[in-house]
Amino acid sequence: MIYANLPMTPEMIALAVTGLLHFVQFAIASYMANVDLGTGYTTSPRDRMPSREMRKSTARMLRAYDNHTQMFAFYAAGVLLIALTGQSTTVTVIAAWAYLIARIIYAPAYALGWQPWRSYIWLVALAACATLFIAALN
């Protein structure tokens, strides 16, 4: 069965905004890397080590972006499972938006070295993903 007319649930809206967040994080991390390393290096095939070092905050922003890349697929799968099975509830809406809010806070927390808060924020996002999968099993 093809779902051509899935409703745009609050979870799906959160997923769309999270996708846009991904682009924003990429743009910020890329800009910072270009400033630190120079466009000569960042546009090259990177066959050599850069001649300049990145600031700690730039390296952290790149790691935060990589982390979001890894987490996004799990989040998207959870949201899509809820949407495809028509199981949207208050709990799944809160979980979807909690993930997004946690990810918005996570990148600056990582860049600024908020220890141990960054890890707690990541755990909120992970718990939100788990909540979506558990809800989909009901």
Q: Is 62 in contact with 29 (CB distance < 8 Å)? A: yes
Tokens of 70: 């890894």
Report the C-alpha gap between 49 and 56 in whole angstroms: 17
Helix (H) or strand (E) holding 135: helix 117-136
Report the C-alpha gap between 98 and 104 in whole angstroms: 10
1-5, 40-44, 57-61, 80-84: which range is least confident on average? Answer: 1-5
Amino acid at 136: A
- Predicted TM-score (pTM) of this structure: 0.90
pLDDT band at 5 (very low <50, low <70, confident <90, very high): confident
Tokens of 65: 């972006």
pLDDT band at 77 (very low <50, low <70, confident <90, very high): very high
Q: If you average pLDDT over residues 41-67, what whole number do you get?
A: 89
pLDDT at residue 126 greater than cutoff 70: yes
Q: What is the reported pLDDT for 23?
A: 97
Q: Which residue has the higher pLDDT, 45 or 103?
A: 103
SS3 category, 37: helix
Q: What is the reported pLDDT for 3?
A: 57
Average pLDDT score, the chain: 93
| Nearest Cα residue to 136 out of 98, 88, 73, 72 | 88
Walk me through the domains of the chain, giving residue ranges and CATH numbers. 10-43+53-136 (1.20.120.550)
pLDDT at residue 2 greater than cutoff 80: no
